[in-house]
Amino acid sequence: ILCVYILPFYGHFYSSEAVLGLLPSSILWAVAILHYDAFEIREKILEGKRLPLLNRIFSFPVLGLYNLLDSPEYGFKLLNSKSMFTLGILIEDYKLRKSTNLDIEDISGILANRYKKRIR
């Protein structure tokens, strides 16, 4: 827009270079469209599911930008994501305790192995 509409008013004709901005802007639009729900993508990455390369590369920068632009909502969604993860662990623990006769060390080993990508 700058090269085609604004700079020609001042005698600078760079409309042929305007096409060079098309590639970066197309990539940024693709990233924005792919990250319509950045927290869902974060969950999939942490679970180890296969995702497109653009999602993997730009997921954490988009979340950082989201944190800067809307910090209270980001904090709320992050807390919700962590609580859902904790709920999943508790449900699995309950199922293992009810369905098996394993002791607590064995159950903790099973849960640690199952959630090893998420537990740091």
What's the pLDDT score for residue 1?
66
List the domain boundaries for the chain: 1-34
Q: Residue range 25-34: average pLDDT?
A: 80
39 CB-near residues (< 8 Å, 6+ apart): 63, 77, 78, 81
Higher pLDDT, 13 or 109: 109
With vertex at residue 38, the alpha carbon angle to CA 34 and CA 42, rounded to the nearest 5 degrees, is: 110
pLDDT at 9 over 90: no
Q: Which two tokens stand for residue 18?
A: 């305007």
What's the pLDDT score for residue 38?
82
What's the pLDDT score for residue 98?
92
Among the listed ranges 20-29, 72-81, 102-111, which one has the minimum average pLDDT value?
A: 20-29
pLDDT at 103 over 80: yes
Q: What is the mean pLDDT of the chain?
A: 84
Task: Dump the DSSP string for the chain.
Answer: -IIIIIGGGGT---GGGGGGGHHHHHHHHHHHHHTTTHHHHHHHHHHT----HHHHHHHHHHHHHHHHH-HHHHHHHHHHHHHHHHHHHHHHHHHHHHH----HHHHHHHHHHHTTTT--
Nearest CA to 115 out of 93, 99, 100, 98 is that of 93
pLDDT winner (highest mean) among 20-34, 46-60, 87-101: 87-101
